[in-house]
Structure 1
Amino acid sequence: MRRMRRPERREQILDAATTAFARSGGFTATSLDDIAAEAGVTRMILYRHFASKTELYQAVIDRAAERLHAAATARGGLSEETVPAMMDWAAAEPDAFRLLFHHAVREPEFRGDIDQLRAGMARTLRPHLAAEADSEAWADWAAGLATTVAIEAIMAWLDAGQPDLEKARRRVLRAIDGVYQALTVH
Structure 2
Amino acid sequence: MRRSNKDRTEATRQTLMDHARELFVERGYNETATPDIVAAAGVTRGALYHHFADKRDLFLAVIDREAERVAAEIAGAAGEAVSARDALVRGIATYFSAMAVPGRSRLLLLDGPAVMGIEGGRATDCDHAEASLRDGLEAYLRETGSDLAGLDPLTRVLSAAFDRAVLAIAAGESRETYEQAIIRLIDGLVTRPSR
Using the size of structure 2 for normalisation, the TM-score is 0.69
- 5+ residue gaps, structure 2, are 80-86
Matched, 1:151 2:163: yes
Q: One-letter code of the match for 1:96?
A: R
C-alpha distance in 1 between matches for 2:68 and 2:43: 26
User: Which of 51, 73, 76 is the equivalent residue of 2:53?
Assistant: 51
Q: What displacement does 1:80 show? A: 1.6
How far did 1:135 drift? 7.3
Q: How does 1:8-47 map to 2 (within 5 A)?
A: 8-26=11-29, 28-47=30-49
Moved more, 31-40 or 10-19: 31-40
Please list the CA deviations of residues 42-61 of structure 1 after superposition, one character each: whole Å capped at 9, or x if unmatched: 43332343232232122112
Provide the C-alpha distance between the structure 2 equivalents of 1:118 and 1:129, rounded to a whole number of angstroms: 21
8 Å contact from structure 2 (residues 74, 94) kept in 1:
yes
Decide whether the 8 Å contact of 1:123 with 1:143 is kept in 2: yes
Change beyond 3 A, Cα 1:56–1:49: same
**Structure 1 residues 6 and 80, CA gap change in structure 2 (3 angstroms):** same
Q: Does 1:118 align with 2:129?
A: no
Question: C-alpha distance in 2, partners of 1:38/1:158?
Answer: 27
Q: Secondary structure of 2:62's match?
A: helix
Distance in structure 2 (CA, Å) of the matches to 1:132 and 1:117: 30
Give distance in 2, aligned partners of 1:43 and 1:184.
Answer: 54
> Counterpart in 2 of 1:136?
149
TM-score (norm 1): 0.72
Quote the Cα distance in structure 1 between the aligned partners of 2:148 and 2:57. 42
Instruction: Please say if residues 142 and 180 of structure 1, whose CA atoms lie closer than 8 Å, have aligned partners that are also in contact.
Output: no
The SS at the match of 2:78 is coil
Separation (CA, whole Å) in 2 of partners of 1:129 and 1:98: 32
Equivalent residue for 1:84, pick from 80, 93, 97: 93
Deviations 1:22-81 (A, max 9, x none): 33333x443212322443444333234323223212211221121111111012344321
1:114 CA drift (Å): 2.0
Q: Which moved more, 1:14-23 or 1:66-75?
A: 14-23
Amino acid at match of 2:100: A
| Number of residue pairs matched by the alignment | 174
Give 1:163-182 correspondences, 5 Å limit: 168=175, 170-180=176-186
Amino-acid identity (%) = 27
- Secondary structure (helix, strand or coil) at the match of 1:156 reads helix
CA RMSD of aligned residues (A): 3.3
Letter aligned with residue 60 of structure 1: V
Q: State the alpha-carbon separation in 1 of the partners of residues 90 and 96 from structure 2.
A: 10
Q: Secondary structure at the match of 1:30?
A: coil
Q: Does the residue aligned with 1:75 lie in a helix, a strand or coil?
A: helix
1-structure distance, mates of 2:9, 2:64: 19
Q: Tell me the distance in 2 between the aligned counterparts of 1:84 and 1:158.
A: 15
Structure (1 or 2) with the larger CA radius of gyration: 2
Structure 1's unaligned 5+ residue stretches are: none
